[in-house]
Amino acid sequence: MTAPAAPANSSPPIDLDQVTSQKWGPSEWFGKEVATASGPERLKLAKDALLASKEAGHDCPHLTALTGVTTPCSKAGGVCAVQRYSQTASGGINLAGHRVAICPSRLVTKDVLLEIAKKVLGLSSGVVLVKEVPYSLNMTKVKKSGEPAWAGRIDWLLVSESDPSCFVAVETQSVYMSGKTQDGTFNAFINANGALTMPPEYRHPDYKSSVPKRLAPQLESKARHLSSTSRKTVVIVDEFVRANMSALVEIPVPKGYADNPARADKHKLDSCQVIFAIVSLENGLLTLSELLYCTIDAAKAALDAVGPMPQAEFEKVVRQMVGTDDAKGRPKKRLAHKVFKLS
C-alpha cells in the first residue's frame, strides 16, 4: 500500500533516535566556524567557553552586525549552533546534518529581517528595527507615576519609519540542549590541544522540552493580543525546529486564486495570525527558506506535535508498570523510582 504523500509544507522527518544517541557539539562558537577554525583558535574558544561571559570578553557578531552597536555575548559557553559529530574509520571527525541554533541571536540578520519586512509589510526601504517592546499592562502593579506597569515584551518589531502604526512583531525561538554539562565538551577540546574531537558526553537539541513549552504560551499571549488589531506575528525558527513540528495547516487558498500567486499570497497574509519564517544555517549563512501562514491554533497544534494515546495502549502501559509479572508470567520488580505503594 502506497504511503500518503507528505503535506507540501512538511520537512524531511528527523530520526529522533539519532538525535538522542549521536553526539552533538559546537558548529558555530562565539560566531566562528568550528570545522574550519585552526587548532589554536579552537583551543582559545574552548578555554574562553569555561569562563564567565564578561571575563571571556567576546562580542556577539550576529547582534553587533544587525544593530551596528557592539553587543557582548551573554550566552554561557558561547555556542551559537550545534551539529552532529561522528568519527571516521581513520579517526577523523565529521560534522554533518542540520545545524541547530541554540541561541536566538543566531536566528536574525539584517538581510532576513529586510526580506520579511518586504514580504509582510510591503516595505523595501524605511524599515526600523525596535528591540524588546512592551505590549501589555500589569493589572496589579503600578509605576511611580501611578500608571500601570508594563508586562511582557515582544522580541523585535519591524516598523515603517514613516508610519509607526505599520509594523509586524518578530519572535525568535531556538532550541535548548539536554544531557550532560557542556563543560565536558569544552575540556575535551582543551585536552586535544584544539584539535577537532568527539564530545565525551551525550547532549542533544531537545525540541520537546524547549520549543512547544516556551513558544506556544508566547503565541497565546503576544500573537493573540496583536491579532485583535489585525497585526501579525512572525516567528523565526530554523529547519531543525520545522522538521520536529507536525504538519502545519496553512491558511487555505480559494480555488479562484490558484493561478494567481500574488492574490494567493495576499489572501494568506490578510487571513493569518502567525507567520513562521523558516531559516537555514547551512554553510555558516542565514537564509530565509520559506514563509508559512497560519492561525494561532494551527501553530500551537503543529508545535505540540503529539496526539492522544489509544485507551487500550495507555491501559497496557499502566498494567505493565503496576504489574508484578512480566509478559511471560514471570515475577518482576516494579520500578522503584516510578511506582510507589501507598496502602
Q: What is the pLDDT of residues 57-74, one digit of tens each?
A: 999 999 999 999 999 999
| β-strand pairing of 127-142 with 93-101 | unpaired
Among 87, 83, 105, smallest CA distance to 96 is for 83
Is pLDDT of 9 > 50? no
Supply the pTM of this predicted model: 0.86
Q: What is the pLDDT of residues 99-146, one digit of tens each?
A: 999 999 999 999 999 999 999 999 999 999 999 999 988 999 999 999
Between residues 14 and 195, which one has the greater pLDDT?
195
Mean pLDDT in the chain?
91
Q: How far apart are CA 259 and CA 114, in angstroms?
A: 27
Between residues 254 and 332, which one has the greater pLDDT?
254
Residues 255, 295 contacting (CB under 8 angstroms) = no
Give Cα separations from 133 to 11, 107, 116, 165, 236 (angstroms). 32, 18, 18, 14, 17
Quickly count: other Cβ atoms within 10 Å of residue 56's Cβ. Answer: 19
Q: How far apart are CA 81 and CA 24, in angstroms?
A: 10
Is pLDDT of 7 > 90? no
Q: What is the pLDDT of residues 144-171, one digit of tens each?
A: 999 999 988 999 999 999 999 999 999 9
